[in-house]
Structure 1
Amino acid sequence: MIPRVRRITAVCALGAALAACGSPDPAGPARPAPAKSPVSASPAASRPPVLAPGPGGLTPVFEHGPRTLGKTVALTFDADMTADQGPRAAAGEHFDNPSLIGALRELKVPATVFMTGRWADEYPTEARGLGHDPQFEVANHSYSHYAFTDDCYGLPRVDAGRMRSDVERAYASLHQAGVPHALPYFRFPGGCYDQPALRALSGLGVTAVQWDVVSGDAFATDADAVTQQVLDGVKPGSVVVMHCTRSAAPTTERVVRTVVPELRGRGYRFVKVSELIGESTGHR
């Protein structure tokens, strides 16, 4: 059931910090590139599972998988970059984290990466590599990483009339970067959404993907504290939110290298979000 108004209440330091990067750039979501719907723009060989729309076609929301179908957990990583952070990237700030991706590959951990279109524009080679690696699945995190509600950790807000085009523009950027099959999953910037935002995306065919475990890795300097927060929060079917941006989440690789063997020792199996959604819909 989709509530009337739904927001993640856990503090998201990353969203607040990204908001301080500058004022909204009219060259960002204000001029969306034309794109088809996500499913038709990036058709997969077999369509990934999605949740059924809510009443009136409202965009469905997924938070975690079944608790009773075994010890599965999905690690998800937000590849965040706002529409106005180009000058910072040009000055040498790193919004990517190749060593983290390398650690996931080394540990053989499947993962879901929610990528902004602006990130894909900045790092097309890395976006293409993730999109072609069967260990990963790439999903949509908006083009601009601007908020879809008011009062979302200080992030600039996308106008209601441009929400749909911001998501479509992200799919266009992922496709342009070489991601062949961006999944029909969307994560709201900051995790902030309400019924008008869900309604604005109705008809796109996407499932909004949230989480039930906040890692706390955004701007964290104590990897042990982040690790403990993840280990304390994980339950069967959990979705963990983390970040793969070096400047914004410098401890995440260390956290992953500790969390993965510990959870495996507890009997957990790492899966992608698509598998958890498939379990929830009966398409296993």
Structure 2
Amino acid sequence: MIIYFPCVTTFVQKVSASVALCSALVGCGGSSGTRPAAPEEPPAVASLSPARLPPTMAPGPGGLTPVFERGPATADKTVALTFDADMTADQGPRAASGERFDNPALIDTLRRLKVDATVFMTGRWAEEYPDQARAIGNDPRFEVANHSYSHHAFKAPCYGLPALGRQGMAADVRRAFDAFRTVGVRNVVPYFRFPGGCYDDDALRALAAAKVTAVQWDVVGGDAFATDADAVAEQVLTGVRPGSLVVLHCTRSAAPVTEQAIRRVVPELRERGYRFVKVSELMAAARGT
């Protein structure tokens, strides 16, 4: 599904307020789609040959940033698992005191289970964990997308997140891409996820200069602050349909049971005939419909 004029409502599913709040606070079209002009592309993407360029969606009317929420509901059972690697610009002291915003066990499990996935990474996370960011970004099983540099809101109010001014939004996104390049992250795709999932038309207009496709979801994993891995797994397994895009998190301190939930989700979905793909493959399928 491709949306060009989204309203301020961003969550597609009706989930409980507590799940929506937790999900927001943390994280670890048609055939007319066009590619951004090379000078505006993220540095790690601009150097790719045309044959290797990730699919994107064409801007909406008036140049609004396009929004992608799920793939086509076709007979081909594909699902994209996405993981937000969240860290706000001001959480350095918490990391220095021992709080873990990473989740290497989750990444290891995805590798062991041979699951392709997309990691939406903040620039601040990449700077805090450069070795992990580089390892994820150099692994062909994963692609790295942009979750902003600061994890500040692009629309206020947004679950208590500090808000960016309109004039700083595109710069914040570019700063994250710069952070990826600095630490050596490859396999970068020109996709962006709004912190907290909060946006409006003003944000889409301000973000247009960054030349990205915004990526939301149709299944909320509910793993943020959860302590029951089976409850998280059930929420994912109940919500997934062909073409679904699932939002989960790659942050050990705030989403401690995600890895355990994935160990149940993956084999059960495979038993149902599902295949795990990256967002870029899901988007390519949508462009072909």
TM-score, reference length from structure 1:
0.90
Backbone CA RMSD of aligned residues: 1.6
| Paired residues for 1:7-46 under 5 Å | 7-9=9-11, 10=15, 11-16=20-25, 37-43=40-46, 44-45=48-49, 46=52
Match of residue 140, structure 2, among 134, 139, 156: 134
In structure 1, list runs of 5 or more residues that go unmatched.
19-35
Q: Residue 248 of structure 2 aligns to which amino acid in structure 1?
A: M
In structure 2, list runs of 5 or more residues that go unmatched.
28-38
Distance 2:267 2:6 in 1: 39
Secondary structure of 2:118 counterpart: strand
Preserved contact between residue 42 and residue 175 of structure 1 (Cα < 8 Å): no
Q: Residue 24 of structure 2 aligns to which amino acid in structure 1?
A: G
Residue equivalent to 1:121: 127
Distance 1:225 1:279 in 2: 30
Distance 2:69 2:270 in 1: 22
CA shift in 2, pair 1:4/1:228, >3 Å: closer
Displacement of 1:37: 3.2
Residue equivalent to 1:112: 118
Secondary structure of 1:262 counterpart: helix
Displacement of 1:4: 4.9
Q: Residue 151 of structure 1 aligns to which amino acid in structure 2?
A: P
**Could you report, residue by residue, the CA deviation over 1:165-201 in whole angstroms, capped at 9, with x for unpaired residues?**
0000000001111112421000000000100000001
| Paired residues for 1:258-269 under 5 Å | 258-269=264-275
CA shift in 2, pair 1:17/1:238, >3 Å: closer
Distance 1:4 1:17 in 2: 23
Preserved contact between residue 38 and residue 182 of structure 1 (Cα < 8 Å): no
Displacement of 1:69: 4.4
Preserved contact between residue 83 and residue 247 of structure 2 (Cα < 8 Å): yes
1:223 aligns with 2:232: no
Secondary structure of 1:202 counterpart: helix
Residue equivalent to 1:206: 212
Match of residue 51, structure 1, among 49, 53, 57: 57
Distance 1:103 1:17 in 2: 21
Distance 1:170 1:17 in 2: 17
Q: Residue 2 of structure 1 aligns to which amino acid in structure 2?
A: Y
1:89 aligns with 2:92: no
Distance 1:204 1:16 in 2: 23
Aligned residues: 266
Displacement of 1:14: 4.5
Residue equivalent to 1:2: 4
**Could you report, residue by residue, the CA deviation over 1:54-101 in whole angstroms, capped at 9, with x for unpaired residues?**
001110000000001410000000000000000000001100000000
Q: Residue 37 of structure 1 aligns to which amino acid in structure 2?
A: E
Preserved contact between residue 23 and residue 220 of structure 2 (Cα < 8 Å): no
1:247 aligns with 2:242: no
Match of residue 76, structure 2, among 25, 49, 70: 70
Preserved contact between residue 153 and residue 195 of structure 2 (Cα < 8 Å): yes
Q: Residue 8 of structure 1 aligns to which amino acid in structure 2?
A: T
| Paired residues for 1:151-166 under 5 Å | 151-166=157-172
CA shift in 2, pair 1:231/1:17, >3 Å: closer
